[in-house]
Amino acid sequence: MAGSSDRGDTHARVPFTASEQRDRTVKAEIEKERAALDAKTAKLRALRLAHEAEERARAAANPKPAEKPKRAARKKS
Protein backbone atom coordinates (compact mmCIF):
# COMPACT_ATOMS: atom_id res chain seq x y z
CA MET A 1 0.00 0.00 0.00
CA ALA A 2 2.90 2.36 0.58
CA GLY A 3 3.85 2.02 -3.08
CA SER A 4 0.40 3.04 -4.28
CA SER A 5 0.39 6.28 -2.26
CA ASP A 6 3.80 7.23 -3.65
CA ARG A 7 2.56 6.57 -7.15
CA GLY A 8 -0.51 8.74 -6.64
CA ASP A 9 1.59 11.55 -5.19
CA THR A 10 3.97 11.47 -8.17
CA HIS A 11 1.07 11.40 -10.59
CA ALA A 12 -0.46 14.46 -8.92
CA ARG A 13 2.80 16.42 -9.33
CA VAL A 14 3.35 15.66 -13.03
CA PRO A 15 0.76 18.13 -14.43
CA PHE A 16 1.95 20.80 -12.03
CA THR A 17 5.54 20.21 -13.11
CA ALA A 18 4.52 20.41 -16.76
CA SER A 19 2.70 23.66 -16.02
CA GLU A 20 5.79 25.01 -14.29
CA GLN A 21 7.89 24.02 -17.29
CA ARG A 22 5.53 25.88 -19.64
CA ASP A 23 5.66 28.90 -17.33
CA ARG A 24 9.46 28.86 -17.39
CA THR A 25 9.47 28.50 -21.17
CA VAL A 26 7.04 31.39 -21.60
CA LYS A 27 8.97 33.59 -19.17
CA ALA A 28 12.23 32.82 -21.00
CA GLU A 29 10.61 33.70 -24.33
CA ILE A 30 9.26 36.97 -22.91
CA GLU A 31 12.70 37.82 -21.52
CA LYS A 32 14.31 37.06 -24.90
CA GLU A 33 11.80 39.33 -26.67
CA ARG A 34 12.34 42.07 -24.09
CA ALA A 35 16.12 41.86 -24.57
CA ALA A 36 15.69 42.08 -28.35
CA LEU A 37 13.41 45.10 -27.99
CA ASP A 38 15.87 46.79 -25.62
CA ALA A 39 18.71 46.18 -28.08
CA LYS A 40 16.64 47.56 -30.95
CA THR A 41 15.70 50.63 -28.89
CA ALA A 42 19.33 51.25 -27.93
CA LYS A 43 20.42 50.95 -31.56
CA LEU A 44 17.74 53.36 -32.78
CA ARG A 45 18.56 55.82 -29.99
CA ALA A 46 22.25 55.73 -30.89
CA LEU A 47 21.41 56.34 -34.55
CA ARG A 48 19.13 59.25 -33.67
CA LEU A 49 21.73 60.85 -31.41
CA ALA A 50 24.42 60.45 -34.07
CA HIS A 51 22.12 62.01 -36.67
CA GLU A 52 21.32 64.94 -34.36
CA ALA A 53 25.03 65.47 -33.64
CA GLU A 54 25.76 65.43 -37.36
CA GLU A 55 23.04 68.01 -37.98
CA ARG A 56 24.42 70.25 -35.22
CA ALA A 57 27.95 69.97 -36.66
CA ARG A 58 26.67 70.75 -40.15
CA ALA A 59 24.73 73.76 -38.84
CA ALA A 60 27.80 75.04 -36.98
CA ALA A 61 29.96 74.67 -40.09
CA ASN A 62 27.47 76.40 -42.37
CA PRO A 63 25.65 79.06 -40.39
CA LYS A 64 22.68 80.64 -42.09
CA PRO A 65 23.15 84.30 -42.97
CA ALA A 66 21.16 86.59 -40.76
CA GLU A 67 18.00 87.71 -42.46
CA LYS A 68 17.47 91.42 -42.84
CA PRO A 69 14.40 92.60 -41.02
CA LYS A 70 11.60 93.47 -43.37
CA ARG A 71 10.62 97.06 -43.53
CA ALA A 72 7.11 97.91 -42.64
CA ALA A 73 4.96 98.85 -45.61
CA ARG A 74 4.08 102.50 -45.79
CA LYS A 75 0.47 103.44 -45.77
CA LYS A 76 -0.74 105.45 -48.72
CA SER A 77 -2.48 108.62 -47.73
pLDDT in tens, 14-56: 667 888 999 999 999 999 999 999 999 999 999 999 999 999 9
User: Residue 36: CA atoms inside 13 Å, Cβ hemisphere, count?
Assistant: 6
0.75 exceeded by pTM: no
First-to-last C-alpha distance (Å) of the chain: 119
